[in-house]
């Protein structure tokens, strides 16, 4: 948003806009999972991130860039609600706490640490374009890998998942 010469209030509003979709989507996560299954719901949610990064590359007006940031909340809903349910259901009861810890560490610790380090290196060029290009490429590859892995491991039916 700085690169787009957005005002200070708009930069602050970006944080609020990213969180807007999270509460309703998390509230209806169970409905989406029952209708489409865990894999489709998860992939649909995380596939929004490469779309967001593509828009971040193309948009030059901060008034358009602001609503684009709401896509972040869609992806976070999938990562936080659906991802946690998926991890809980693919692991035996004795490993669930460890699985959740590894998932959370990847989501909040390792991933952002590596990502922010690389982002800092890329942004030293003076432009965010290299960052958005890398995010887009890695995001698409990640979605394909996760979809393939979930498809291979999808031996259970939706009814087998405990959503209560």
Q: What is the mean pLDDT of residues 79-92?
A: 89
Confidence of residue 32 (pLDDT cuts 50, 70, 90): very high
Confidence of residue 152 (pLDDT cuts 50, 70, 90): confident
Domains and CATH numbers, the chain: 8-160 (1.20.1250.20)
Confidence of residue 162 (pLDDT cuts 50, 70, 90): low
Q: Which tokens in the block code for residue 111?
A: 């991933």
Q: What is the mean pLDDT of residues 81-107?
A: 91
Q: What is the CA radius of gyration of the chain?
A: 17
8 A C-beta contact, residue 116 and residue 128: no
In whole angstroms, what is the distance from residue 52 CA to residue 58 CA?
A: 10
Residue 12 has pLDDT above 90, yes or no: no
Residue 15 has pLDDT above 90, yes or no: no
pLDDT at 4: 73
8 A C-beta contact, residue 70 and residue 57: no
Per-residue pLDDT tens over the stretch 106-139: 888 888 899 899 999 988 888 888 999 999 999 9
> In this structure, how many other beta carbons lie within 10 angstroms of the beta carbon of residue 39?
19
Cα 84 from chain centroid (whole Å): 13
């Amino acid at each position: 948003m700085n690169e787009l010469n957005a005002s200070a209030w708009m930069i602050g509003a970006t944080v609020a806009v990213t969180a807007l979709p999270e509460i309703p989507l998390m509230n209806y996560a169970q409905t989406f999972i029952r209708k489409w299954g865990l894999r489709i719901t998860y992939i649909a949610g995380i596939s929004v991130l490469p779309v967001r990064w593509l828009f971040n590359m193309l948009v030059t007006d901060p008034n358009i860039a602001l609503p684009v940031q709401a896509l972040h909340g869609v992806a976070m809903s999938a990562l936080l609600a659906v991802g946690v349910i998926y991890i809980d259901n693919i692991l035996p009861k004795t490993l669930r706490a460890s699985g959740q810890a590894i998932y959370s560490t990847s989501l909040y610790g390792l991933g952002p640490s590596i990502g922010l380090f690389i982002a800092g290196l890329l942004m030293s060029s003076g432009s965010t374009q290299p960052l958005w290009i890398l995010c887009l490429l890695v995001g698409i590859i990640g979605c394909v890998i996760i979809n393939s892995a979930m498809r291979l491991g999808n031996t259970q039916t939706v009814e087998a998942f405990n959503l209560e």
